[in-house]
Structure 1
Amino acid sequence: MKKLILATAVAAGVGLGTAQSAMADRIALVISTLNNPFFVTLQEGAQSQAEELGHELIVLDSGNDAARELSNVEDALARDIDVLLINPTDSDAVASSVRTANAQDVPVITLDRSANGGSVVSHIASDNVAGGQLAGEFIIERLGGEGQVVQLEGVPGASATRNRGEGFMTAIEAADGIELVATQPANFNRSEGLNVMENLLQAHQGIDAVFAQNDEMALGAQRALQASGLEDVVLVGFDGTDDGIQAVNDGKMAATIAQQPARIGELGVITADRVIKGESVDENVPVPLQLVTQE
């Protein structure tokens, strides 16, 4: 199990007594995977904010494994944490982890992906439904309202997968001239995006556009499209990672729906800090999205 304990940083000028008090406040971040630039950036945002506020942040990587996620939560709870931040691997499976924390009266805050069970004090995420719809509307406009489209989905069961797909389908189904010829999971993974796209290109002729539910899958799909000489296919990703935005700037992707993963991490720690202080927090904290194109 990969574990990382991030040291507390106390701001200059804080007295020893205050520093020792702050040290007692432990926040755990159980993250779906650190093998994805988006979640690495989210973790970095949380780390930076924890250091600024004087909290100890414990980070545990679930490796996209729900059983490992539950083990990580149990490990974190054994360390006498004050708040649990969790970025679920699967919105249904994470319910067991949330209920485990509930049983020990540890407040739970979900990041990026929601939990379909247990009690959560706050959920911090982008509006993934709106983002998926924005991607669909962009593709429709680029294709002039006509064409064949495929979708690469994320991890089955993740709320981000479900919500991005819901928004995308809302846009696509409203356009009479657009045909969704295939939708298939590639688990938010670049290499799987490449393999799935290669298979789809063999099965379907005349694909005009691809919506990948994250930039990693989009970048994998881009390699498959390039190898097949189909660089004119409209390719849209999601997340706005550094690699994704660079691909847009280089003309390899038409667009990406940019999230703010660092901000999600920051807001998670800020919300945890308020919970620790006994302050009220919002049940849902939206983080704005932006369509990024060369223009």
Structure 2
Amino acid sequence: MNRTTRRTAAGAAVAAMALSLAACGQSEEKPRADGVASTTVGLLLPEKTSSTRYEAFDKPLIESTVGSLCTGCVIDYANADGDEAAQKQQFDDLLAKGVKVIMLDPVNAKVTAPWVAAAEAKGAKVIAYDRLAEGKVAAYVSFDNQRTGEIQGQALLEALGPKAATAQIVMINGAESDPNAAMFKAGAHRALDGRVKKIGYEQSGEWKPEVATAKTNEAVRTLGKDGIQAVYAANDGMAAAVIEALKAAGIKNVPVGGQDASMDAVRRVLTGEQAYTIYKPYKPEADAAGSIAVQLLKGMDISSAASAGVDSNGLRIPSLLLTPIVVTKAKIQATVVGGGLYKAAEICAGPYAEACAAAGVK
């Protein structure tokens, strides 16, 4: 199945599942006698500080989806804010409460196999959300992460234009503990390798702006002020840090790209400080994951929703993968505004009004 067919099928599957769940909405289970609701979905997200998307978008969207499909269902939510040990405790707490479906976006996906096994031993199902947790998870819902990296790389090439063939690139990748980061990196290399002169410096920024700053400063010391023609940053938080570090070093007119379509990044794209960001429409991802969670709560078959498959350490994980979208200055109106992520008035407030008018954002 090609990418286009897979995305169309994925969208149809989510819509069909939502209808079937709505039709059986009167059959919700009641709370157990011990006071623990059997209609509780656990939601564990990984970050607050280094990426704002989880609190601003994923959590409320998932809550809305689950609530709309399952009367009486509730979300038991926690955010680890980058702390692996804290997330392990949050996971254990959900199991101790008797929660039977847990949506997990892991801080460190490499350590989760024992968690998933412990959940299975207690009859609980784990959905890997956005990042593929190791272990025999019931389903995986995310974007096509290698394709995301490829789109990032292509956007950086387009920002460089005819200078690409002679350009030396710096790459600040995501955390090595995050399997998505490895896929972003692989996709970016697929786009960039052989099309730029050289990847002159490449390190992990660990999804942390302060680490990205340190790595950018090291790249400047290693390559010199004239030795950097563009920077690939795996997300917007690190891209912001890279841009500031380059400014502090007196380096100008170097394209820097990111990912996540955060408000500050969209504004940097608008003003030309950042070359592009990547918009992952959070609602389809949250809708898909929330729908699968309710389906699992009801003991329903999820094969129509998670019809693709991703290999993970010898396991074939039922998966649903969605398509990311590149956002440049010319595409802000058609993507993040047209898609309903932000209102033009939010983006264009205060000092950004003139840039919005010039870019046709309204």
TM-score bracket, normalised by the shorter chain, equals 0.7 to 0.9
SS of match in other structure, 2:259: strand
2:217 matched residue in structure 1:
198
2:272 matched residue in structure 1:
251
Question: Would you say the 8 A contact 1:172–1:178 is kept in 2?
Answer: no
Question: Would you say the 8 A contact 2:205–2:212 is kept in 1?
Answer: yes
Question: Would you say the 8 A contact 1:73–1:101 is kept in 2?
Answer: no
Question: Would you say the 8 A contact 2:205–2:215 is kept in 1?
Answer: yes
2:329 matched residue in structure 1:
294
Question: Would you say the 8 A contact 2:104–2:133 is kept in 1?
Answer: no
Equivalent residue runs for 1:169-248 within 5 Å: 169-175=189-195, 177-205=196-224, 206-248=227-269
Equivalent residue runs for 1:1-295 within 5 Å: 21=30, 24-35=38-49, 36-40=51-55, 41-53=57-69, 54=71, 55-116=73-134, 118-143=135-160, 144=162, 145-146=164-165, 147-175=167-195, 177-205=196-224, 206-281=227-302, 282=306, 283-295=318-330
SS of match in other structure, 2:288: helix
Give the counterpart letter for 2:132 in structure 1.
S
Distance in 2 of aligned mates of 1:287 and 1:240: 16
Give 1 or 2: higher strand fraction.
Answer: 1
Comparing 21-30 with 232-241, which one deviates more in the overlay? 21-30
1:86, CA displacement in angstroms? 0.1
Runs of 4+ in 1 over 4 A off after TM superposition: 17-20
Q: What is the percentage of aligned positions where both structures have the same residue?
A: 22
- Which blocks of at least 5 consecutive residues in structure 1 are unaligned? 1-16
- Which blocks of at least 5 consecutive residues in structure 2 are unaligned? 1-25, 32-36, 307-317, 331-362
1:18, CA displacement in angstroms? 6.9
SS of match in other structure, 1:163: helix
**1:76-130 alpha-carbon deviations (Å, 9 max, x no partner):** 11111120100011221122221221111101100111023x2111101111100
Question: Would you say the 8 A contact 2:62–2:289 is kept in 1?
Answer: yes
Give the counterpart letter for 2:297 in structure 1.
I
Comparing 160-169 with 267-276, which one deviates more in the overlay? 267-276
**1:149-191 alpha-carbon deviations (Å, 9 max, x no partner):** 011111112111100001011112232x431011111111223
Distance in 2 of aligned mates of 1:132 and 1:165: 6
Number of residues paired by the alignment?
277
Question: Would you say the 8 A contact 1:45–1:263 is kept in 2?
Answer: no
Give 1 or 2: higher helix fraction.
Answer: 2
Question: Would you say the 8 A contact 2:105–2:133 is kept in 1?
Answer: no
Question: Would you say the 8 A contact 2:100–2:123 is kept in 1?
Answer: no
